[in-house]
Amino acid sequence: MTAPGRRRPAHVLANAPFRRLWTAMSVCSLGDWLNILALTALAGNLMQDDYRVQSLAIGGVFVAKMLPAILLGPLAGVFADRFDRRLTMFAADLARFAIVLSIPFVHSYQWVIIATLLVECINLFWVPAKDATVPNLVPKEQLESANQLNLLVTYGTAPIAAMLFAALSVVGDVVTSTVPFLSGRDATGLALIVNACAYLVSAFLIFTLRGIPKRDGAISTPSVLKQVIEGWRFVGGHRMVRGLIIGMLGAFAAGGAVVGVAKIYVGALGGGDAAYGVVFGAVFVGMALGMFFGPRLLRQLSRRRLFGLAITVAGLVLVTIALVHNLPIVVMLTVVLGACAGIAWIIGYTLIGLEVEDGLRGRTFSFLQSTARVTLLLVVAVANPVAAIFGVHVLDLGEFAYQFDGSNLVLVIGGVLATAVGILALRHMDDKKGVPLTADVIAAVRGERLGAEPAEHVPGLFVAFEGGEGSGKTTQSRLIAIWLRDQGYDVVQTREPGSTKVGMRLRAILLDAAERGLSARAEALLYAADRAEHVEKVIRPALYRGSLVVTDRYVDSSLAYQGAGRALDPEDVSKINAWATGGLVPHLTVLIDTPPQVGLTRLGGAADRIEAEPLEFHERVRKEFRKLAAAAPQRYLVVDGTLPPEVITRQIQDRIHEILPDPVPRESEDATGTMPAIRD
């Protein structure tokens, strides 16, 4: 995966030895996934008579699959480093082939468990040998692409294996029922044979792989437990990272719950092994979709909020999956569930990349990976016994009976847990406190963005006037300031650009018609610079004194003129302004909405830089102002600029009256009197 614009000498797959290793890895991954599916299905089929025993039997396979890596992982890593890597992988592949092939012939549950433990122990040699080989075959600058390709086949083969398993189960069923010699045998046998052959193919590919340099670049893997404890020491104290990790593990656990009980759940719904494969595959198809489309989804919504939301929705979907006893619906919901988990995972990963400082990032990732493994083991290990203990209960509802069994219970618990974790993550990480989530989501669905920061809690009141050229906002803001002063308030009337010493010089540059060469970005930055100075020297001090601040133009002008008018990325303009103002948002913004045709004809004198822009420019500006107001109606008053001025004034007075501090000081106070406390 080459980033556009970055030149790489040749794709990493053009490298023949790496391509061979990668192909072997892909085939093995496919085999591994088939293995999980076939063995859990076989375990379930071997212990079919009792629901409880069946649940425990399937749980046993998952535990056997994960235990060796957790207990013996670091040990094997050290050993793997002492042997010739190519021979290690070759021998491991042959051994895996033989063991897996024996399973359908032995056909006993004990052997399923023993064989699983053996295969996993062998994997402990195969995987580090492979990991250590990659850097030997690939130049350093291509390692990242190589790792991405590895990741792609590790997870990308899961849905393929699931579909393959579903197809093989169908074929297997037909074969076992038509060939008398095989009758009574299990259809999973075919999947296991294909699985074994995958290891054989890998053995051949590895054997013919020449020229792996021996023993350089030793790998050392600290124990999982050590990684977890050390990692927590680093990330535990960081509120945002804590929220992220809890959320990601929650998403992982929810997915684990589904995978863990899928076989018995599907069985209870009347589906066979093929249906199990489909449900299993649906999780991964969903995850892939989520990871691919997630970052493009609801661009206007804060990533942190989308993260918490995705997990919460995943939890709710999981509860629904548990309660709906209809296989096709369950499959569809499982795709949605996978998608939510995928979104959470990819956004979580990206957020860690973006927001966690450099020195902490590596540890955070490895902490996450090790805790994810432990979480998965715990969930899968606990899920089946819980299902087994609960057993099957049938709710007799007169007309029809509703079955609620252990797998339903596990899924409900998983769903409730994920919902709780999602809400926790939303709370922990919310970067838009004060903006209601539902309104924010609705706006994002419409492609609009609600105010990034909530109104700051200051003793004073902050009102901004916005509008296009000749809208009359300057006149109106003056009238309102006078009206407020008449009532005894301390009012600071100000405007942008140019209300500070530096601001006046910036204004001269900005509005000078001779400066036509000014680039759009420079223009946006100069307005933001003026605003930063304005907020720091004038607005904020006044608000903290408890004064009323009335400004003629504020951030929205930049969003409208530079964002929409000059077609800069609105998100960029919004970001630099949020930074420039320290997130200060007016309590009320009065938008005097006037069609540009009307406004422009009202102007007298020579046109400045901006007034001289064509009509379409001013149309875009107007549209953006209206959009901003529509996205946060509680913080805006939109008045029709074509109405008679006194009507406009009246409307503004009425609205400001609602948010004025109470009680309004009358004759007893003089014009510079102190402000009464503000109602929140």
Cis preceding-peptide flag for 436 (omega within 30 of 0): no
Q: Which residues pair with 401 in a beta bridge?
A: 396
Among 22, 165, 561, 625, binds ligand TYD (CB under 6 A): 561
Using the minimum distance from each CB to ligand TYD, give the nearer residue, 273 or 552.
552
Nearer to ligand TYD, 32 or 533 (CB): 533
- H-only helix segments in 107-187: 109-137, 143-178
613 in contact with ligand TYD (CB under 6 A): no
Query: How many chain residues interact with ligand TYD (CB under 6 A)?
Result: 14
What gap in Å lies between CA 272 and CA 383, rounded to an integer?
20
Angle between helices 358-390 and 51-80 (to 10 degrees): 150
* Distance in Å, CB of 460 to ligand TYD, minimum: 21
Read off the DSSP letter of residue 2.
P
Q: What tokens does 539 get?
A: 């607005």
Question: Rounded to the nearest whole angstrom, what is the least distance from the CB of residue 308 to ligand TYD in the complex?
Answer: 33
468 is in an annotated binding site: yes
Contact 217, 77 (CB under 8 A): no
Least distance to ligand TYD from the beta carbon of 562, Å? 6
CA angle 476, 479, 480 (to 5 degrees): 85
- Report the C-alpha gap between 456 and 678 in whole angstroms: 13
Q: How far is the CB of 488 from ligand TYD (least distance, A)?
A: 28
C-alpha distances (whole Å) from 120 to each of 56, 70, 675 are 20, 11, 73
Contact with ligand TYD (CB under 6 A) among 553, 620, 627, 635:
553
Nearer to ligand TYD, 478 or 545 (CB): 478
527 sits near ligand TYD (criterion: CB under 6 A): yes
User: Which range in 109-117, 297-305, 475-483, 558-566 contacts ligand TYD by CB under 6 A?
Assistant: 558-566
The shares of helix, strand and coil residues in the chain, as percent rounded to the nearest 5, are: 70, 5, 25
Cα within 13 Å of Cα(9), Cβ side: 8
Question: What are the start-end ranges of the E strands in 270-419?
Answer: 392-397, 400-405
DSSP 676: P
Residue 467 known to bind ligand: yes
- Asked if 191 contacts 95 with a C-beta cutoff of 8 angstroms, the reply is no
**In the bound complex, what is the minimum distance in angstroms from residue 530's beta carbon to ligand TYD?**
7
Q: Can you tell me which of 302, 551, 558, 594 binds ligand TYD, judged by CB under 6 A?
A: 558
- Residues 6 or more apart in contact with residue 87 via CB below 8 angstroms: none
CB-CB contact of 385 with 220 (8 Å): no
* Residue 515 beta carbon to ligand TYD: minimum distance, rounded to whole angstroms: 12
Task: Give me the residue label for tokens 């999981």.
Answer: 318
Q: Which stretch binds ligand TYD (CB under 6 A): 145-153, 216-224, 314-322, 554-562?
A: 554-562
* Residue with Cβ nearer ligand TYD (185 or 609): 609
Q: Report the SS3 class of residue 639.
A: strand
- The CB-of-497 to ligand TYD minimum distance in angstroms stands at 5
Nearer residue to ligand TYD within complex by CB, 440 or 552: 552
Q: Is 471 annotated as a binding residue?
A: yes
Structure tokens at 383: 């899920």
Is 605 annotated in a binding site? The answer is no
For 590, the enclosing helix (H) or strand (E) is strand 588-593
Which tokens sit at 180?
A: 């008398």
Residue type, 236: G
Which part of the chain contacts ligand TYD (CB under 6 A), choosing from 59-67, 444-452, 476-484, 551-559?
Answer: 551-559
Closer by beta carbon to ligand TYD, 93 or else 552:
552
Q: Given the complex with ligand TYD, which of 131 and 611 has the nearer CB atom?
A: 611
Please choose, out of 27-35, 318-326, 550-558, 579-587, the segment that lies near ligand TYD by the rule CB under 6 A: 550-558
Only segment of 125-133, 203-211, 440-448, 553-561 that touches ligand TYD (CB under 6 A): 553-561
DSSP string, 37-69: HHHHHHHHHHTTT-HHHHHHHHHHHHHHHHHHH
User: Do 59 and 377 meet the contact criterion of CB atoms below 8 Å apart?
Assistant: no
The CB-of-329 to ligand TYD minimum distance in angstroms stands at: 52
- Which tokens is 193 given? 């044979």
How far apart, in whole angstroms, are the C-alpha atoms of residue 60 and residue 263? 13
Please list every residue from 16 through 75 that binds ligand TYD, using CB under 6 A: none
- Choose between 120 and 556: whose C-beta lies nearer to ligand TYD: 556
Where in 456-515 is the site for ligand TYD (CB under 6 A)?
A: 469, 474, 496-497, 511
Shortest separation between residue 620's beta carbon and ligand TYD, angstroms: 12
Which x/- pattern, by CB under 6 A, does the window 415-454 give for ligand TYD?
----------------------------------------
CB 480 within 8 A of CB 649: yes
Closest CB 598 distance from ligand TYD, rounded Å: 14
Phi and psi, residue 405, nearest 5°: -120, -175
Rounded Cα distance between 425 and 245, Å, is: 9
625 is a site residue for ligand TYD (CB under 6 A): no
Residue with Cβ nearer ligand TYD (103 or 610): 610
> 405 and 51 in contact (C-beta within 8 Å)?
yes
| Minimal distance, residue 666 CB to ligand TYD, in Å | 33
Position 271: which residue type? Answer: G
Nearer to ligand TYD, 604 or 663 (CB): 604
Stretch that binds ligand TYD, among 239-247, 341-349, 556-564, 672-680 (CB under 6 A): 556-564
Greatest C-alpha distance within the chain? 106
3-state DSSP assignment of residue 3:
coil
In the list 610, 629, 637, 652, the residue contacting ligand TYD (rule: CB under 6 A) is 610
Q: Which of 456, 447, 453 is CA-nearest to residue 430?
A: 453
Selected from 40, 557, 589, 594, the binder of ligand TYD by CB under 6 A is 557
Nearer to ligand TYD, 260 or 641 (CB): 641
**CA 221/CA 81 separation, integer angstroms:** 11
Q: Coil, strand or helix: which one is 549?
A: strand
**8 A C-beta contact, residue 93 and residue 145:** no
Q: Which is nearer to ligand TYD, 609 or 655 (CB)?
A: 609
Residue nearest to ligand TYD (CB): 561
Name the residue nearer to ligand TYD (CB basis): 142 or 562: 562
Distance of CA 471 to the CA centre of its chain: 42
Q: How many residues does the chain have?
A: 680
Q: Could you tell me the smallest distance in angstroms from the CB atom of residue 611 to ligand TYD? A: 6
- Nearest approach in angstroms of CB 521 to ligand TYD is 13
Nearest CB to ligand TYD, comparing residues 390 and 527: 527
469 marked ligand binding residue: yes
Contact at 8 Å (CB) between 334 and 269?
A: no
State in angstroms the smallest separation of the CB of 447 from ligand TYD. Answer: 23
Cβ 648 to ligand TYD shortest distance, Å: 15
- Of 68-76, 178-186, 401-409, 552-560, the segment contacting ligand TYD by CB under 6 A is 552-560
- Output the known binding site for ATP: 467-474
- Output the known binding site: 467-474
Q: Catalog residues that contact ligand TYD under the rule CB under 6 A.
A: 469, 474, 496-497, 511, 527, 552-553, 557-558, 561-562, 610-611
